[in-house]
Structure 1
């Protein structure tokens, strides 16, 4: 990996341009405590797209769209339930969107992205802590992890209090420049 500071990367005119998410090199995962905290359910989304723009003057804009029907925990019956109206309601709300409207470098390669998550038609601002670095092949890796309150996005189904109210969502996203 190239050892460039984040501030330098964000203000480098050579880095300015449009960048596309490389889904084949990226992952979007989630985990949540179930069965009153006894079981950690892990899953991933397998179908997503995204793009972003670096201005070369410190500004960042972007979007990631995730197909809710691509949710996969490895257990078909559970996946069907998670895609149902009890949770993601994939038929009515086929996409989760994450829109990035700004970046604030914090320390080293870390930053906070100003984002709006839209899940089940509910939009909420989320400050998303990330690490951003340039890779040797010129692509940019953004790693992120945050906790989301399920009730905030109408994902509150919770028979007998079995499911934790927060889910941890993580991404390891590789972006490749497509134009300057």
Structure 2
């Protein structure tokens, strides 16, 4: 999944030089958002969200912004009973809050690749979120962003935890492939 990461100066040249200027659309077939959380202290629960969409814009001055949308009900851990519980009001409450969204207000080159700053909304609660990502431009008309993001569930009202056996920290692994819009 990972292409060659770009150095900050190389990415800055592409942003400022106009090579990446324009509208970008998330390619859902080649993108993935995975969830991992520990349960019962040591056993990780792993899943993938099957429905993702998004878009981004790079302005002529090199400013990059974008949005990712995830259908909360599309979680797939390969366990039907667990998936039903994750969709319930105990977790994502997907009937009342069908989308998980991340809006990136600023994406800029950094020593690690790119620094992403924005807001994550889960269950109708929005929290600021910043993280580092790797950026790749594997070919003309395609940009990849790869990141691991740690999220504290309670920040979004997800506090269900029978006997304290579910970790409050979840890790989202994002592989976002954008193509020219």
TM-score (norm: length of structure 2): 0.92
CA RMSD, aligned part only?
A: 1.4
Q: Residue 175 of structure 1 aligns with which residue?
A: 178
Of 111, 128, 131, 2:131 maps to 128
Q: Residue 70 of structure 1 aligns with which residue?
A: 74
Larger mean CA deviation between 98-107 and 113-122 belongs to: 98-107
Q: CA deviation at 1:96?
A: 0.4
Gapped regions of structure 1 (runs ≥ 5): none
Q: CA deviation at 1:137?
A: 4.1
Structure 2 residue 32 is matched with structure 1 residue 22: no
Displacement over 3 Å in runs of 4+: 1-4
Q: Residue 116 of structure 2 aligns with which residue?
A: 113
What does residue range 36-47 of structure 1 map to in structure 2 within 5 Å? 37-47=41-51
Tell me how far apart the structure 1 counterparts of residues 62 and 94 of structure 2 sit (CA, whole Å). 36
CA distance 1:44–1:94, change in 2 (3 Å)? same
Tell me how far apart the structure 1 counterparts of residues 109 and 129 of structure 2 sit (CA, whole Å). 16
Does the aligned pair in 2 maintain the 1:115–1:128 contact within 8 Å?
A: no
Tell me how far apart the structure 1 counterparts of residues 19 and 127 of structure 2 sit (CA, whole Å). 33
Q: Per-residue displacement from partner, 1:152-179 (whole Å, max 9, x unpaired)?
A: 011111011010010001110100012x
Gapped regions of structure 2 (runs ≥ 5): none
Aligned residue pairs: how many?
Answer: 176
Does the aligned pair in 2 maintain the 1:14–1:56 contact within 8 Å?
A: no
Tell me how far apart the structure 1 counterparts of residues 116 and 138 of structure 2 sit (CA, whole Å). 20
CA distance 1:134–1:56, change in 2 (3 Å)? farther
Q: CA deviation at 1:21?
A: 0.1
Tell me how far apart the structure 2 counterparts of residues 14 and 147 of structure 1 sit (CA, whole Å). 31
Tell me how far apart the structure 1 counterparts of residues 17 and 46 of structure 2 sit (CA, whole Å). 38
TM-score (norm: length of structure 1): 0.93
